[in-house]
Structures are given as C-alpha cells and as structure tokens.
Amino acid sequence: MRASRTTPFSRVSAVVLGVLVAVLAYAPYAVSRGTQTQLVLLFCYVLMGTMWNLLAGYGGMVSVGQQAYIGIGSYGLVTIADQMGVPAVLAVPLAGVAAGAVAWVTSFLVFRLAGGYFAIGTWVVAEVLRLVFTQVDGLGAGAGVSVGAYGDLGPAYRIAVVYWLALATTVLSVFGVYLLMRSRTGLGLTAVRDDPVAASSLGVGVAGAKRLVYVAAAVGCGMAGALIASNTLRVQPESAFSINYTAVMMFVVVIGGIGAIEGPILGAVLYFLLERELSHFGAWYLVLLGIVVVAFTLVLPKGLWGLVAGPRRQVFPVGLTVMRS
C-alpha cells in the first residue's frame, strides 16, 4: 500500500483537462465573436463559483457580499487601464489585487461577526461600496462609465484578447485554488471544516488561513469583475455591485457541489446552460433558481458532483488516497 494524491482517474482527467484547455484556447480562430463573448461569461461563472466555494466550501465562510469585489474589479479595470493607462492584460490581475487589498482591510471589520452575521456584514460592505461609487463623479457616478481600455484594438481582436484573458485567468485561478487546498494551509482549513474541535486541538491556525482565503476569493472575484467589464464595456454601480452575482455564485456552488474544486466548474456549466434556455422566463426563472438552491441544500448537499465523486474519482485530488499497489 502507498499513499498518493493522484489516482488513475485523476491522471486521465488531467490529460482530458489539458486537451480541453487547448481546444478552448484555439476557439477564437473557430467560433463567432458572439460565442466567444458568451464563453467569457461562462469562464467568469467558473471563476466566481470557484471563489465562493473557496470561501464557503473550504473556509466555512458564507459571504453574501462578494459583489463588493466584482464591483471593485470592474471599477478597478476602468481606473487602472483607462485612467492610468496600464495595458488591459495587466489591468485585469491588478484589478484583482485592488479587490484583494479592499478585502484585506474589510476583513478586520467583518471577521468580528460570526457565522450568519458575517454573511450580512459582507453585504453591508458591498452596499457601502455601491453607495460610494454612486457618488464618485470621476467614475460617472450613478450613470457609470464606459470601458475604453481596449479602444485601440479592433473589435474582433478585442474580443479574442478578452476571451484569452478570461480563459487564462480562470484556468490559473482554479489551479491556484487547487494548489492552495493541497498546501498545509488548505489541508488545515479542510481539517477545521470537517472537525473544528480536533483541528484546533492539533493547533491548526485558523484565523490567518481564513483571512488568506477571504483575500484570495476577493482577488478572484475582482478579476472576474474586470473581465465582466471587459466583456460588456460598461460599468455601472447598480449592476457592478448587484447581489445577483452572489446569488449566481451560490447557485453554481450548490448545484455543482460545495467543498470540491470540480463542483463549481460543473455548476457553472449547468448555470450557463440554464440561463441561456430559461432566463426569458424572467422572475419565474429566478423562482426556479431559488427553489433549486433550497432543494439541493436540503436534499443533495454535496451537489451533483457529490453523486459522481468518490475518494478515487477526483479530477483535482486534494487529499491523500491510500492505494493498494
């Protein structure tokens, strides 16, 4: 017997994933601009879901205020690229860093609230940011601003650049979360989540790890916000700081599967398809999403990935699996 992270399943999936990423990277040469724009949205869902899963599934923190960092990322892109003249390719990660910095500061406030009150506290922070940005005349106040960063690229090239940026950001972020969860910090967090008492008696440092996760999730959401702004070319406080982003993240994680890296990827794809097919039903579509969240949480708490996964069936093997060799 030996202990190993990888399994035959994970090795095969790694190859499949590699091929998939390569195919996706080639897509701008093969599919229409409209499809690329759609896929950027899908990538953003994967990114946002992955971040929310990092928070809730691994860090045990339910935030309903992640829209704060989407908004910071969107406005960050405008500020860093348009107003400071940094190339967009750099502006997207920098917008993420800006969101992370804001998160680091606010963590000292919201971490004073436990559990459910933490959730609402994060929401207040998002609301404060929304109201503040509504007042900033330099950023168009309530009416918002247009994104000019990609102005000197032609439309076809711009869309392809945003597409590659989104793909790269998402793939790297998912991989980054995977590495984080394999690290000592990540395994400590998983231990805390699974058994807080035992973990604390083993001396797992919780507070620092949680802050790290909170900031990392904000960086990811910030980049998602920058990408969304790059995709729509318009940033407006009402929509950039909309609670709907958090609702999407929650949905993606809950149907995909909380506490597994694969979960939000699966959930994002499902959400993306559902939205395409059903969003014209308007409010009834939202009713359906709410019902699905409640039903999954109560009946299938591990999500759809939970039906598939087993200790040996992980695309991203985080823990160790004992194998007979």
Partner 1 sequence: MNLVNAVVQGVLLGGLYALLAAGLSLIFGVMRLVNLAHGAFAVTAAYGSLTLVQHLGWHPLMTLAVVVPVFAAAGFGLQRGVLTRAATRGPLTPLLVTFGLAVIVESLLLTGFSADSRTLPTGQLSVASVRLTGTVSVGVLPLLTFAVGVVAVLGLQWFLFRTPAGRLMRATSDDREAARIVGADDRRVFATATAIALGLVAVAGVFIGMRGTFAPSSGAGVLLFAFETVVIGGLGSLWGTLAGGVLLGVAQLLGAAIDPAAGVLAGHVVFLVVLAVRPEGLFPKAVIA
Which residues of the chain form contacts with partner 1 (CB under 8 A)?
A: 56, 60, 62, 64, 108-109, 112-113, 115-117, 119-121, 123-125, 127-128, 131-132, 134-135, 243, 247, 250, 254, 258, 282-284, 286-287, 289-294, 297-298, 301
How many residues can be counted in the chain? Answer: 325
Minimal distance, residue 114 CB to partner 1, in Å: 9
Question: Distance of CA 232 to CAs 35, 74, 256, Å?
Answer: 14, 10, 26
Nearer Cβ to partner 1 (193/313): 193
CA distance 214 to 222: 12
Burial of residue 1 (CB within 10 Å: 0-12, 13-18, 19+) is: exposed
Minimal distance, residue 62 CB to partner 1, in Å: 4
Minimal distance, residue 225 CB to partner 1, in Å: 20
Rounded (10°) angle between helices 67-77 and 88-110: 150
Nearer Cβ to partner 1 (89/291): 291
Minimal distance, residue 56 CB to partner 1, in Å: 6
> 115 — phi, psi (to 5°)?
55, -120
Show the tokens assigned to 267: 């959930």
- The DSSP string of 45-65 is HHHHHHHHIIIIIIT----S-
Nearer Cβ to partner 1 (112/276): 112
Nearer Cβ to partner 1 (106/185): 106
Nearer Cβ to partner 1 (67/231): 67
Minimal distance, residue 247 CB to partner 1, in Å: 6
